[in-house]
Amino acid sequence: MEAARRDLARMRESAEAWQDLRYERAADGRDANEVPRARVLWALQYDRRPGDLPLLRFLAEQEALCRRHSPYQGLGEQAALAGFLLAEHRQAEDVWRQWEIKRANFDTLLGYDVEHVFAAGVRATIDHLRVVDHPDRDKALEYLLGTGVDEERVEEWARDKREWFPEDPADEDPLTWFDRAMLVGEKELARAELDRWASGRERDGRTLRTLCFHLMELDEFAEAARVQRESLAFADNDWDRASAWQTLAGLERRAGDHGAAWEALCECRRALEHVDGWREAGLGRQFVEELFLLAGQAEGELAKEAFAEAERQAREVPGLPPVVFEAAAEAALNIGGEAALGRYL
């Protein structure tokens, strides 16, 4: 946050510096300035001033461009934060900036609250749209009038968002700091925030799922596997048990414990025996893929046994996607099965 505050101070001194925050597509499709822009947004969240409106407008425009052109789609905290901070100024003319974020991609269309667009108030927003000259005016009016949003709902939304994006850093959820630390590449800080979040928390199914997910983000696969094994106690039906064992198998494999991964897949198969129609579901395709992945990474007889089981299951599971055949080809190469390799390629 010290670096973030320094960045914000520089932006407040000169609008020319804003170009360092513009959307710029990198070679890998990512936004080259995502992190600098995020840092400034974090600083703005905890130091809100009326004079920052032009900067916020620029940031919201860049977030709309980022979400529209990103190959990864999604919404992201930065777009949501930029939109909220802009909405707090409640200016009807910002409706188009909010509209551009809302319609940037499929995920924003579903996940970006339409209340952002109504931030100036429902009546003020509609009145503005009816008189403004804009190529999307009729489309926006038709969409917004069909939402059923009223003034009370906008006010309630604004109150909820102020709690979601507090003004004091001390009131922030540790998992928010985890995500931010991961974004800027500070894994040790991220791990500390994850530990702070988990400390004293009841280890129920939801807590364990969240903890496991974030440990995976940290590449702490062995520890994630231990947490996932603990969470098996909360799987109360055969489908959930099969899914939980399959997840555990993947974690053990990525942690390098291939024997434990094989045992977990065997438990997954036993649970699947009691699930109707599993072969036609995504769970069936994922089960076959995990078998092939293990066969591609294990050694000796275990690799051959996993490959044989994968082939048996693959014959019974329809609609296998290309990613499964890629895993199968790698597994065939690992065990020296030239005929199978050619077939899967």
pLDDT digits (tens, 9 = 90+) for 304-342: 999 999 999 999 999 999 999 999 999 999 999 888 999
239 and 309 both lie in a single domain: yes
What's the rounded Cα separation, in Å, for the pair 121 and 154? 7
22 and 103 both lie in a single domain: yes
3-state secondary structure of 31: strand
- The verdict on residue 194 lying in a domain is no
Res. 28 pLDDT band, cuts 50 70 90:
confident
113 and 238 both lie in a single domain: no
- The verdict on residue 206 lying in a domain is no
Q: Which of 106, 141, 167 is the last residue in one of the domains? A: 167
Residue tagged 């934060």 (tokens) = 81
Q: Which of 102, 136, 167 is the last residue in one of the domains? A: 167
- The verdict on residue 81 lying in a domain is yes
Give the pair of three-digit tokens for residue 12: 């407040």
Residue tagged 């973030």 (tokens) = 4
134 and 227 both lie in a single domain: no
Percentage of the chain exceeding pLDDT 90: 94
105 and 226 both lie in a single domain: no
Give the pair of three-digit tokens for residue 277: 């129609």
156 and 233 both lie in a single domain: no
What's the domain range around 153? 2-167
Give the C-alpha distances (Å, rounded to integers) separating 28 from 22, 31, 217: 17, 9, 20
Q: Could you say which DSSP state residue 25 is in?
A: B
Percentage of the chain exceeding pLDDT 70: 100
In contact, 263 and 225? CB cutoff 8 Å: no
10 and 158 both lie in a single domain: yes
- The verdict on residue 96 lying in a domain is yes
Beta-bridge partners for 25: 31
Cβ-based neighbours of 297, under 8 Å, separated by 6 or more: 253, 258, 303, 334
Give per-residue pLDDT as tens, 187-206.
Answer: 999 999 999 999 999 999 99
Q: How many domains in the chain?
A: 2
Give per-residue pLDDT as tens, 238-256.
Answer: 999 999 999 999 999 999 9
What's the rounded Cα separation, in Å, for the pair 157 and 39? 25
What's the rounded Cα separation, in Å, for the pair 198 and 211? 7
141 and 22 both lie in a single domain: yes
Question: How confident is the model at residue 73, as a pLDDT?
Answer: 80
- The verdict on residue 48 lying in a domain is yes
74 and 146 both lie in a single domain: yes
- The verdict on residue 65 lying in a domain is yes
12 and 156 both lie in a single domain: yes
In contact, 63 and 83? CB cutoff 8 Å: yes
Give per-residue pLDDT as tens, 163-177.
Answer: 999 999 999 999 999
- The verdict on residue 267 lying in a domain is yes
Q: Which of 134, 167, 200 is the last residue in one of the domains? A: 167
Beta-bridge partners for 31: 25
Res. 264 pLDDT band, cuts 50 70 90:
very high
Question: How confident is the model at residue 118, as a pLDDT?
Answer: 96
Counting DSSP H helices and E strands in the chain, the numbers are 19, 0
- The verdict on residue 215 lying in a domain is no
Please tell me which residue, 74 or 231, carries the higher pLDDT value.
Answer: 231
Q: Smallest Cα–Cα separation from 99: which of 85, 118, 81, 82?
A: 118
What's the rounded Cα separation, in Å, for the pair 312 and 14? 66
Work out whether the CA dihedral 176, 35, 110, 205 comes out positive or negative: negative
31 and 140 both lie in a single domain: yes
Question: How confident is the model at residue 206, as a pLDDT?
Answer: 96
- pTM comes to 0.88
Question: How confident is the model at residue 71, as a pLDDT?
Answer: 83
6 and 150 both lie in a single domain: yes
Average confidence (pLDDT) over 258-275? 97
Res. 29 pLDDT band, cuts 50 70 90:
confident
